[in-house]
């Protein structure tokens, strides 16, 4: 069983940084992603699992085996953990050819010559480096070296693979292709994987479950769908792409719906609650730029929120519009002087909408896409 259990695992660096009391269980065959901004402790957590750092608190179990226990001073070195690794730095042997680099872990395991040859050719082919086997790492670009490191981890097909931003040096196209490859390989082999990234697209595409990290701690763990749809803190929401935030007052709560009042807007808005929230509290309303709609402001005199006037809307002044390929980005100012960004698909941008700079429109914030969090969350 290739499960991983971190039991209150901590690692400090004497400067107040590192990771604090991580509790994570990764199931056998699961693809687990650690997602978080630079410096939050992702690499440190991975290095502890690999045995490249010794935790100074808590325990690590691989399957039933305790490989680190700070309390008992127990520590199993990396080469006794049977883990494949693809790290941020490629860590290739400079004096070995690509073929030898990829073959290295297999040879160390005394796999037969022919099987090694087949695995190496297959893995290089998979990462788009067929024919590069005789080159040395110094004769490859950074992205190509990264793909060799990836091939090396895939060729050995260990039960447990740790990935530290393995796609970070690749161009967008190759990145997308290798991401798909990784997904496919994982479906075939069902190895247990811990994958570190700060790229939410990678997390969405690859993860069975994702943990969002902040300053050495875990903020939220769940399926990508749960975390992306129902962030429970402002940090998580903003990190997973809820670009817009408005301050509001909670009027009432009914199940997962909350009625909220925005300064300068007469009709209440309905939002979706993802955590504890009570009437009278201040809430952050969060919404993705891609979920905001724009409509003509209803004729003067008609009350907001009434039939005919789009519900869950607020008047906004259009300050700027820029073209970003498949969508136009609108910079909007609310009556309360908050700025909203709305991304409207190009095909839905009428000449009237594009010419609306300076005009007042109605921003539509669908209740299901509008997340309300207690401002203290």
Ligand X SMILES: Nc1ncnc2c1ncn2[C@@H]1O[C@H](COP(=O)(O)OP(=O)(O)OP(=O)(O)O)[C@@H](O)[C@H]1O
Size of the site for ligand X (CB under 6 A): 13
Interaction between residue 200 and ligand X (CB under 6 A) = no
**Residue 272, helix vs strand vs coil:** strand
Which listed option, ligand X, Mg ion, none, makes contact with residue 41 (CB within 5 to 8 Å by class)? ligand X
Q: Is the Cβ–Cβ distance between 260 and 250 less than 8 Å?
A: yes
Residue 91 binds ligand X (CB under 6 A): no
Tokens of 250: 């909670």
Among 6, 26, 32, 42, binds ligand X (CB under 6 A): 42
41 binds ligand X (CB under 6 A): yes
User: Which partner in Mg ion, ligand X, none is near 58 (CB below 5 to 8 A by kind)?
Assistant: none
Q: What are the angstrom distances between the C-alpha of 62 and each of 2, 67, 271, 289, 331?
A: 6, 7, 42, 41, 50
Residue bearing tokens 């299901």 = 368
Contact 46, 194 (CB under 8 A): yes
| Helix 172-189 with 142-155: angle, nearest 10 deg | 0
Asked if 367 and 257 touch (Cβ cutoff 8 Å), the reply is yes
Q: Considering CB distances under 5 to 8 angstroms, the limit depending on partner class, which of ligand X, Mg ion, none binds residue 39?
A: ligand X
- 3-state SS, residue 376: coil
For Mg ion, the binding residues (CB under 5 A) are 43
Residues 129, 106 contacting (CB under 8 angstroms)? no
Kindly state whether residue 55 participates in binding ligand X, applying the rule CB under 6 A. no
- For residue 323, state whether it binds ligand X (rule: CB under 6 A): no
Cβ atoms of 219 and 234 closer than 8 Å: no
Among 175, 198, 232, 288, interactor with ligand X by CB under 6 A: 198
Does residue 40 interact with ligand X by CB under 6 A? Answer: yes
In the bound state with Mg ion, the residue whose beta carbon lies nearer, of 43 and 312, is 43
Q: Note whether 313 and 295 are within 8 A (CB).
A: yes
CA-atom Rg of the chain in angstroms: 25
Residue at shortest CB range from ligand X: 43
Helix (H, G, I), strand (E, B) or coil at 97: coil
| Residue 99 or 200 having the CB closest to Mg ion | 200
The least distance separating Mg ion from the CB of residue 219, rounded to whole angstroms, comes to 17
| Closest of 28, 56, 35, 145 to residue 92, by C-alpha | 145
Closer residue to ligand X in complex, CB, 12/305: 12
Q: Which is nearer to Mg ion, 43 or 169 (CB)?
A: 43
Binding mask 11-30 for ligand X (x = CB under 6 A): --x-x-xx------------
Q: Cβ 88 to Mg ion, closest distance in Å?
A: 6
> Quick one: 46 or 361, whose CB is closer to ligand X?
46
Residue 24 CB, shortest distance to Mg ion, in Å, is 17
* Contact residues: ligand X, CB under 6 A: 13, 15, 17-18, 36, 38-44, 198
């Amino acid at each position: 069983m290739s499960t991983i259990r971190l039991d209150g695992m901590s690692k400090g660096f004497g400067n107040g940084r590192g990771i604090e009391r991580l509790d994570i269980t990764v199931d056998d065959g699961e693809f687990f992603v650690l997602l978080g901004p630079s410096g939050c402790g992702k690499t440190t957590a991975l290095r502890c699992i690999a045995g490249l750092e010794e935790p100074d608190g808590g325990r690590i179990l691989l399957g039933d085996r305790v490989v680190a226990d700070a309390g008992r001073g127990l520590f199993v070195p990396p080469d006794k953990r049977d883990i494949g690794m693809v790290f941020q730095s490629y860590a290739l042997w400079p004096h070995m050819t690509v073929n030898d680099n990829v073959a290295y872990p297999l040879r160390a395991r005394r796999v037969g010559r022919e099987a090694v040859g087949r695995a190496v050719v297959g893995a290089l082919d998979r990462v788009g480096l067929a024919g590069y086997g005789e080159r040395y790492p110094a004769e490859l670009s950074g992205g190509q070296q990264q793909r060799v490191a990836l091939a090396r981890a895939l060729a050995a097909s260990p039960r447990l693979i740790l990935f530290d931003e393995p796609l970070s040096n690749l161009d967008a196209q190759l990145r997308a292709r290798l991401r798909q490859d990784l997904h496919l390989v994982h479906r075939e082999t069902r190895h247990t994987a811990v994958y570190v990234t700060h790229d939410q697209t990678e997390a969405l595409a690859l993860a069975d479950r994702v943990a969002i990290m902040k300053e050495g701690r875990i903020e939220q763990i769940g399926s990508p769908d749960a975390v992306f749809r129902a962030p429970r803190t402002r940090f998580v929401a903003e990190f997973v792409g809820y670009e817009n935030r408005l301050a509001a007052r909670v009027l009432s709560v009914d199940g997962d719906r909350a009625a909220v009042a925005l300064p300068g807007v007469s009709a209440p808005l309905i939002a979706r609650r993802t955590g504890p929230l009570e009437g009278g509290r201040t809430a952050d309303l969060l919404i993705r730029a891609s979920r905001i709609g724009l409509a003509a402001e209803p004729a003067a005199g008609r009350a907001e929120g009434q039939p005919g006037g789009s519900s869950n809307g607020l008047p906004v002044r259009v300050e700027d519009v820029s073209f970003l390929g498949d969508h136009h980005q609108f910079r909007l100012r609310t009556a309360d002087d908050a700025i909203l960004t709305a991304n409207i698909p190009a095909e839905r941008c009428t000449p009237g909408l594009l010419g609306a700079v300076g005009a007042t429109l109605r921003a539509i914030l669908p209740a299901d896409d509008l997340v309300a969090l207690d401002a203290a969350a």
